[in-house]
């Protein structure tokens, strides 16, 4: 049922954005961003449930919580960078959208580096010299 509600909300938001863009093109991008933020908030609620469940599972499995935090932050940055880039594209700024994606990817790489380095150290310890 939630999927149908989300689909209905998306169609209503689309209709509102299209009408606003026709009547006031200068406010059309703002309407699109506002609608997008509503969907980001909905996604954040769902992701918080997932994060809580993952946290409980990690605790029971004895997985380092810092690793789970890094993965969740990387996913969050990916979603937000994608949203920001799409918003730039909606405003007709495709070059800026590409730079936002590049910056998001750089942030993700930097955030994930402790996991990457830890994995490489583990592999180096296991492999014979």
pLDDT number for residue 1: 62
- Asked if 35 contacts 13 with a C-beta cutoff of 8 angstroms, the reply is yes
pLDDT, tens digit only, all 129 positions of the chain: 688 998 999 999 999 999 999 999 889 889 988 999 999 898 888 888 888 888 888 888 887 888 888 988 999 899 999 999 998 998 889 999 999 999 999 999 999 999 899 889 988 888 877
Output the pTM of the full model.
0.75
Contact partners, residue 77, CB within 8 Å, separation at least 6:
104, 107, 108, 111
Is 127 strand, coil or helix?
coil
Chain center to CA of 113: 18
pLDDT number for residue 74: 93
Q: Can you tell me which residue has the tokens 């933020």?
A: 37
> What does the chain come to in residues?
129
Q: What 8-state DSSP symbol labels residue 93?
A: -
| Residue ranges of domains in the chain | 64-129
């Amino acid at each position: 049922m939630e999927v149908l509600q989300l689909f209905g909300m998306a169609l209503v938001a689309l209709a509102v954005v299209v009408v606003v863009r026709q009547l006031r093109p200068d406010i059309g991008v703002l309407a699109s961003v506002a609608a997008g933020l509503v969907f980001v908030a909905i996604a954040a609620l769902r992701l918080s449930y997932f994060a809580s469940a993952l946290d409980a599972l990690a605790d029971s499995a004895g997985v380092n919580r810092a690793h789970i935090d890094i993965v969740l932050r990387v996913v969050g940055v990916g979603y937000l960078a994608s949203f920001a880039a799409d918003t730039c594209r909606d405003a007709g700024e495709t070059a800026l959208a590409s730079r936002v994606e590049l910056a998001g990817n750089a942030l993700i790489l930097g955030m994930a580096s402790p996991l990457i380095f830890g994995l490489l150290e583990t592999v180096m310890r296991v492999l014979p010299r």
